[in-house]
Each structure stands twice: as structure tokens, then as C-alpha cells.
Amino acid sequence: MGGVDHHDWLVGKYAMIIRGKKWYWVLFTRMLEMALVNAWLFYRLVHGENALDLLDLRHAVTVTYLKLDTGRLNIRRTMEYPSSQLRVIPDIRFDGIGHMVDKRSTQR
């Protein structure tokens, strides 16, 4: 396998599949995937045997960006939802706890 084929394989290994978006969304997500794989390849060159695998690096980057505080969120701003949607109590929504999804040992 050549270098480009191997890179395409790594990009497609954990690629996001989102349907129903505009045509440019596919290009945007593909560029993000390629940038992440390139960063992982450089990370592996630097750290050698102690390097994270690609999935763990993707998880670490995702969690880092999810925890990032942009400073643009206005907690007092109220959002209008249609009456058919479930409303979340503000005490739970803005309590500052991560509410991250936990990995289970068995699938349900």
C-alpha cells in the first residue's frame, strides 16, 4: 500500500458520516479528518512506542474541544423552543458538570 492509500484508509477508518447536509459539508469534514490523521502521524513520530492510537487521540481532541469555554455563551439568554420539544430545567442545563457519555462494557 502506498502512502496516499494508507492515509485514505486511516481517514476512512473512523470517518463521520452525516447525510442531508449541503455539498460542501462533506469537503469540510473530510479536511478535518485529514488534518487529524496528519496530526496523529506527527504525534506518532515524536512519541514512538508511547503514542496513543488514532481512536484515543480523536477522543482526546473531541473532549478537549467540548470542554473549551468560548466565553460567548450567555447563560441568561433564553431560547424559544416549540411546545412539542422537551424542555431542560436550567438548573440541570447550566450546572457546570460535564455530563459526558460513559462507555459501557456491554451494548444494549
pLDDT less than 50: residues of the chain: 75-78, 81, 83-85
pLDDT in the model for residue 29: 87
- pTM tops 0.75: no
Residue 24 grid cell: 460542501
Helices and strands (H, E) in the chain, number of each type: 4, 0
- The per-residue pLDDT for range 8-38, each reduced to its tens digit, is 888 888 887 777 778 888 888 889 999 999 9
- 54-92: b or e for each residue (b if 16 or more CB lie within 10 Å)? beebbeeeeeeeeeeeeeeeeeeeeeeeeeeeeeeeeee
pLDDT in the model for residue 90: 66
pLDDT in the model for residue 37: 92
Domain ranges of the chain: 3-93
What is the C-alpha separation between 10 and 6, in angstroms, rounded?
6
